[in-house]
Amino acid sequence: MNDQNQDERTRIREAMDRLLSGKATASNGSFTAAALAAEAGVHRMALYKRHADLRNEFDERVRTETHQVPETEKQLRATVTKLKKTIANQRAELEELRQLVTNLTLASAVLTQRSDTPSEPAPVPLPDNVIPFRPPSP
């Protein structure tokens, strides 16, 4: 490991200690990776790319030492909750649409059957000894 990386790692560890003790000097003092990078004086992407192990260590220390959930985990949990709600809504809508398709299919079958049969019933032939009151309509 070169001297620049080692220097960054040292600054990040010192920044961790300052943030966790509530003595932030260069950041807003929140328990986020951005605040850690600002406190250490390193670019945030350097923290994510070159020093991912230190970022994970910071999250773990936040969880154990402050008994708080890291901000990234809070955001992920909120996203998961939102997505679960969306999935539940979509499942309900899908079930409603399936029911609607079934009802429309049944209605179509009934209408098709009605159009195949005459609208008036066929006249019933009368025996020869019966005289109707009215003549049958044409």
CA dihedral sign, ordered 44, 48, 54, 57: positive
Instruction: Return the pLDDT at 117.
Output: 63
Is residue 20 one of the residues assigned to a domain? Answer: yes
Output 58 or 126, whichever has higher pLDDT: 58
Q: Worst-scoring range by mean pLDDT, 24-28, 102-106, 125-129?
A: 125-129
**Alpha carbon separation from 92 to 86, 99, 102, 104 (Å, rounded):** 10, 11, 15, 18
Instruction: Return the pLDDT at 83.
Output: 97
Count up the domains in the chain and report the number.
2
Residue 96 and residue 76 share a domain: yes
Indicate whether 121 pLDDT > 80: no
Is residue 129 one of the residues assigned to a domain? Answer: no
Is residue 16 one of the residues assigned to a domain? Answer: yes
**Alpha carbon separation from 4 to 10, 11, 46, 51, 99 (Å, rounded):** 10, 11, 12, 12, 65
Residue 87 and residue 58 share a domain: no
Q: Where are the beta strands (DSSP E) in the chain?
A: none
Is residue 131 one of the residues assigned to a domain? Answer: no
Residue 33: pLDDT band (50, 70, 90) is: confident
What is the pTM assigned to this prediction? 0.52
Report the percent of the chain where pLDDT is more than 90: 37
**Alpha carbon separation from 37 to 7, 24, 43, 68, 109 (Å, rounded):** 13, 12, 6, 19, 68
| CA of residue 32 relative to chain centroid, distance | 24
Residue 97 and residue 46 share a domain: no
Instruction: Return the pLDDT at 14.
Output: 92
Is residue 122 one of the residues assigned to a domain? Answer: no
Instruction: Return the pLDDT at 114.
Output: 72
State which of 68, 87, 120 marks the end of a domain: 68
The parent domain of residue 25 ranges over 3-68
Is residue 94 one of the residues assigned to a domain? Answer: yes
Is residue 60 one of the residues assigned to a domain? Answer: yes
Kindly state the average pLDDT of the residues 14-37: 88
pLDDT digits (tens, 9 = 90+) for 68-88: 877 778 889 999 999 999 999
Residue 79 and residue 27 share a domain: no
Indicate whether 125 pLDDT > 80: no
Residue 54 and residue 9 share a domain: yes
Query: CB under 8 Å, gap of 24 or more: what pairs does 80-89 form?
Result: none
Residue 97 and residue 42 share a domain: no
